[in-house]
Structure 1
Amino acid sequence: MTEQAIIAGCLQNDAAAQRELYNRFSPKMLSVCYRFAPNREDAEDMLQEGFIKVFTQIHTFQNKGAFEGWIRRIIVHTCINFLKKHKKFNESLDISYADSVHVKEETVPSIMQARQIIECIRLLPVGYRTVLNLYALEGYSHKEIGMMLDIEESTSRSQYTRAKAMLENILIRKKIIEAPKQDFQWLAAFNKS
């Protein structure tokens, strides 16, 4: 079934088209949810809520840009709303890991698996994890993140900086990377995975 046929079917509330849309996009969108969620059950809840929104809002898709990108934006916003609703974003932030990690120019070896990085990102406090995901992986600006999370732009910047340092420290301690490493250019390798 083509993407246009899926969209047309979903506009008619055709169950087969909805099932095809879900089967085609849910694995990738679950990985997006998983990066934001504290556990698999929450990720699955985020995914379900997100796809309900996709199905109820599909009439707003205007064929401007990629359909997958449109779905992804809905899923990301659903994840943020889920965290806010369940007060998970407002949990206190532990900055004890954010000690000074010195960074030098290098890249992570190509054998680094995206799954390992995701698991390490999930170890970050929810606020740090959310800002890191939105900025480094989803491409939102700190201004947009501030508006989405009801925080100051400067808070987004500082949480991102602390998240990078904390994540790098976790990666070093788990021996996924060798100390010290440079920036997060290596993160672009799994951007939008």
Structure 2
Amino acid sequence: MKVIHLHQEEKKIIEEAVVQNRQAQHKLYVKYAPKMLSVCRQYIKDLQQAEDVMITAFMKVFVNLKYFEHKGSFEGWIRKIMIHECISYLRVKKEMKFVEDEEFTHEMHNNIESQFSVEAIQFLIDALPDGYKMVFNLYVIEGYKHHEIAEMLGISPGTSKSQLSRAREVLQTQINSLNKFNHGTI
């Protein structure tokens, strides 16, 4: 079966990369770099900085490759390393700010059918304050729970919920404004 063959081939490449085979490492980099740059770009506005963080994270991937146990998705394993490296980078740059606030607006679920491009949506997310953006990406894009986000970022679960709620409010306002503008009601 073709799927099993592809999985075994990737496993072999990973095993070769563990023993510092540069060609195997290059194959993994070429395969995953575009997706991982996209992940880093979700957290870091500047493309060059996102690329630098991705390269640093790939170095960590190759150093820690021996710990990958082939239980679950290899791509998911790399993705976690990328996210943690983005968080570390933003912490060092002191670009993440969180407002401690235990009171938060309950999450509003609005089903907005949007005709915005991926670039336009990324632009709106990039415009969020860094704390909002980080929590929004971790919760909505990556699927982490609030207690996991709180642990990763060193904040309370209530702060995580508050940041997400505020991010959604800001995005909702921006989307409503764009919809009004696109439909000529301004």
TM bucket normalised to smaller: 0.7 to 0.9
Runs of 4+ in 1 over 2 A off after TM superposition: 103-107, 111-115, 171-179
Residues 150 and 106 of structure 1: CA distance in aligned 2, closer, same or farther (over 3 Å): closer
> Within the alignment, does 1:135 sit opposite 2:139 as a pair?
yes
Quick one: which amino acid aligns to residue 107 of structure 1?
I
Q: State how many pairs are aligned.
A: 169
Q: Note the aligned Cα RMSD (angstroms).
A: 2.4
Match runs of 1:34-113 below 5 Å: 34-90=41-97, 105-109=110-114, 111-113=115-117
Q: Is the 8 A contact 1:127 1:159 kept in 2?
A: yes
Q: What TM-score results when the alignment is normalised by the length of structure 1?
A: 0.80
Shift of 1:68: 0.4
Structure number with greater CO (CA < 8 Å, separation at least 6) is 1
Q: Is the 8 A contact 1:34 1:40 kept in 2?
A: yes
Tell me the SS of whatever aligns to 1:17.
helix
Q: Is the 8 A contact 1:50 1:75 kept in 2?
A: yes
Shift of 1:175: 3.4
Q: Name the CA distance, whole Å, in 1 between partners of 2:168 and 2:120.
A: 15
Select the residue among 143, 154, 158 that pairs with 1:154.
Answer: 158
Quick one: which amino acid aligns to residue 10 of structure 1?
A
Shift of 1:105: 4.9
Larger Rg: 2
Deviations 1:156-185 (A, max 9, x none): 000000001111222232339989xxxxxx
Quick one: which amino acid aligns to residue 108 of structure 1?
E
- Who is 2:3 aligned against? none
Q: Is the 8 A contact 1:145 1:156 kept in 2?
A: yes
Q: Is the 8 A contact 1:33 1:76 kept in 2?
A: yes
Residues 61 and 36 of structure 1: CA distance in aligned 2, closer, same or farther (over 3 Å): same
Quick one: which amino acid aligns to residue 175 of structure 1?
N
> Which residues of structure 1 form unaligned runs of 5+?
94-99, 180-193
Deviations 1:2-22 (A, max 9, x none): 311220121111111111111
- Who is 2:102 aligned against? none
Q: Name the CA distance, whole Å, in 2 between partners of 1:81 and 1:48.
A: 14
Hey, which of these two has a bigger chunk of helix by percent? Answer: 2
Select the residue among 13, 16, 24 that pairs with 2:20.
Answer: 13
Tell me the SS of whatever aligns to 1:9.
helix
Q: Is the 8 A contact 1:38 1:126 kept in 2?
A: no
Q: Name the CA distance, whole Å, in 2 between partners of 1:86 and 1:148.
A: 17
